[in-house]
Chain A
């Protein structure tokens, strides 16, 4: 089955610790995205990548980092600089630039909690 997988489903972070959230897709999509979801806030864009080895900051990139070494993978690291990391994190992908249908498809999400 084609789709987007995120792991783990739940992740706990201690103070001062970096944690990495995994996102993998087998849809052969060029573009991938990370969003943060807080109650009543909708989804806010953290980072996005349109092609391998390239990525751009979204609206709330501070305290986060990403890499895009492979087309199918776009891991997100929540660094110790992110002072309020507790949230639901969603990964998405789309076919990519220059295509008319920029529909984004979402993974099941990772809930990050601070100990």
Chain B
């Protein structure tokens, strides 16, 4: 069965610093990978997704992620964060042919001035 581990539950950073949010997954078959962002008391918004092709995926708000099949990782990065990036970020995996999406427990990113 597929599973997702987000290695950091909280990540504090200063404004304009780079950030990496780590995600590892476990699956025996090919997968689709997603990153979602959630602002307080709101639903989830899709940041980016990996379906196939180039392993470097660019998303909204200047975020990008790299799929590493050998490391079974899909880390999210941003070179320079803003206060407005403060939110909770969820990594999710879906096995090809499956209707289910499995989520990690989330990483709370706090950007301080």
Which A residues are closer than 8 A to B by beta carbons?
4, 6, 31, 33, 40-45, 48, 50, 58, 88, 90, 92, 94, 97, 100-109, 111
**Contact present for B99 and A48 (CB under 8 Å):** yes
Across the interface, which residues of A come within 8 angstroms of B42, CB to CB?
108-109
Q: With the chains together, A41 CA to B90 CA distance in Å?
A: 11
Q: Which residue of A lies closest to B96 (CB)?
A: A100
The distance in angstroms between the C-alpha atoms of A100 and B97, with both chains bound, is 8
Q: Are A97 and B99 in contact (CB under 8 A)?
A: yes
CA distance A77 to B34 in the complex (A): 29
Task: Select B104's contact among A42, A88, A103, beta carbons within 8 Å.
Answer: A42
Q: List 25 A-B contacts (CB under 8 A).
A: A4-B43, A6-B43, A42-B105, A43-B44, A43-B90, A45-B100, A48-B99, A48-B100, A90-B44, A92-B44, A94-B99, A101-B51, A102-B32, A102-B94, A102-B99, A102-B101, A103-B34, A104-B101, A105-B46, A106-B36, A106-B43, A106-B44, A108-B42, A108-B43, A109-B42
On chain A, the residues within 8 Å of B44 by CB distance are 43, 90, 92, 106
Find out whether the CB atom of A100 lies under 8 angstroms from the CB atom of B41: no
The reply to whether A90 and B43 form a contact with Cβ atoms under 8 Å apart is: yes
B51 touches A41 (CB 8 A): no
Distance in Å from the Cβ of B34 to the closest Cβ of chain A? 7
